[in-house]
Every structure is written in C-alpha cells, then in structure tokens.
Structure 1
Amino acid sequence: MKLFLRSLYSILLFGAGVLHFTHEQSFRRSVPETLPLRRTIVLVSGIFEMIFSVLLWVKKGQDITGKLLALFMTAVFPANVYMAVRRISFRPGEEANPWILWLRLPLQLPLIVGALTLGRKGNG
C-alpha cells in the first residue's frame, strides 16, 4: 500500500510540477496580484514539486522529506483558498465552478497526511 501511495503521490507531484511550466499563466492567476514575482513563484513551486516527486524515492532522509513536503502542501493551501474566494477558473476565459473550487480545499489534508505518513520510518 505504501508503494502505491508513494507512486501516486510522486506522479501527482511531478505532473503538477510540469504543468507549472506548460500552463504557467493559468497557475499565475492563483497567486495574488499583490505579491511580487508571481511568475517566479509559480515556476519555483513547480520545481519544488518535481524535486519532491524524486525525493519521495530516496530512502535516506525520508523523515525530513515528509515534513518538508507537508509544510509545502500547507504553504500552497492559501493559493487554493484565494482561487475559491475569487472564483478563479482553472481555465482562463471560462467561468469557475465554485463547488469544485471549494470542495477541493479539503483534499489538501490527505496530501499533508500522506506526506507525513510517507516520511515516517519504516514506510518503504
């Protein structure tokens, strides 16, 4: 089961990281306009996601990887809230479905718990 969770999480992270580059403008919309370097924030967070996707497979340091990934998932949560409050669509030019935007917020919790679970010793 842990192998499945690690594989799924790794694929999800890597895919999301790549999307930060291929759909950077869409991701930039989730960064409040009051923040500087919005494009940089999107690209750096995409790099972090791809790095974490690889680090999930490195046995040494899994405890710190899990904690850092959980912290990262907590740090990006405000962007999801911002999207829900502002009704920002995933696709530019299309109207956002507020139900999807709000219902996806609780999904962050399993990502945080999953990161901590994978980071615990003995979770090969």
Structure 2
Amino acid sequence: MNEQTAKKVARILLGTNLIVAGISHLTFARHAFKAQVPDWVPLKKDDTVVYSGVAEIALGSSLVLTDDAHQEAVGKVAASFFTAVFPGNISQYVNKRSAFGLDTDEKRLARLFFQPLLVYWALKSTNNL
C-alpha cells in the first residue's frame, strides 16, 4: 500500500469513527458524554453533548467525502475540534467522572494521552504533516 492510499484509508477510518461517535452523542451514549462536559461550559450539558455530536457527524462526513483540494482544511478543522474538546477529557479526569469504562483515575489519565494522537491522525491523514 502506498502512502497516499494509507492516508486515504486512515482519513476515512477517522471520519467513520467520528460519525459513529456523533451518532452516539445523540442516542445511546448521550448520558455518558455529559460526564465529560466541564462545569464551566456556559451551556446545558445536554445541549453541549448534542452540539458536539452534530459537529462530529459533520466533521466525520467531511473527512470521508472531502476531495483532494479540501483535505488539508478539513484536517485542520478536525484537529482543532479534537483540541477544543480536550478540556472535557481533563474535566472527566479531575472530577473523577466515570463513563465509557473509564472508571479509575489511571484509565482516565491514560485517555488524556490519546487526544494528541487524534490531532496527529487528523493532520497526517489529510496531508498536513
């Protein structure tokens, strides 16, 4: 598999995962996602979960469907989104909120190290790196 094909597969995989995550925000995992919303967010937790779910579906769809001319821009937006939601992961850790099987401080801490990988994945799979 050449590099361009590998990037395309990675981009489509990331986009598909975002679509599934977005759908889960709106349906079966809605309550669990509320655990990640920091208390300082000025919106209702449920509204924040819904808005972020819609954003994930839009971003995921964009990653899957984007043409070559727009990949880099979409990748930057996705990387920015992953950066913007990182405080939610920190909040879950600091406030000891269990969700998604993250029911210990060790598991919640380990998750924090995966967010930079998502940023890298978004950038690398869209030719930004």
TM-score, normalisation: structure 1: 0.86
Q: Pick which of 18-27 and 42-51 moved more.
A: 18-27
The equivalent residue for 1:18 is 23
* In structure 1, distance between residues paired with 2:126 and 2:12: 14
Q: Pick which of 112-121 and 10-19 moved more.
A: 112-121
* In structure 2, distance between residues paired with 1:97 and 1:7: 32
For the structure 1 residues 20 and 95, does the alpha-carbon distance in structure 2 shift closer, same or farther, using more than 3 Å as the test? closer
How large is the Cα RMSD of the aligned pairs? 2.1
For the structure 1 residues 95 and 30, does the alpha-carbon distance in structure 2 shift closer, same or farther, using more than 3 Å as the test? closer
Unmatched 5+ stretches in structure 1: none
Q: Pick which of 25-34 and 110-119 moved more.
A: 25-34
How many residues get paired? 120
Unmatched 5+ stretches in structure 2: 1-5
The equivalent residue for 1:70 is 79
Counting only pairs closer than 5 Å after superposition, residues 1-124 of structure 1 correspond to structure 2 as 1-22=6-27, 23-35=29-41, 36-57=43-64, 58-59=66-67, 60-90=69-99, 96-120=103-127
Q: Which runs of 4+ in 1 moved over 4 A?
A: none
TM-score, normalisation: structure 2: 0.83
Letter in 2 for 1:120: N
* In structure 1, distance between residues paired with 2:102 and 2:79: 31
1:13-42 Cα shifts (integer Å, max 9, x gaps): 111111101121221121123433221111
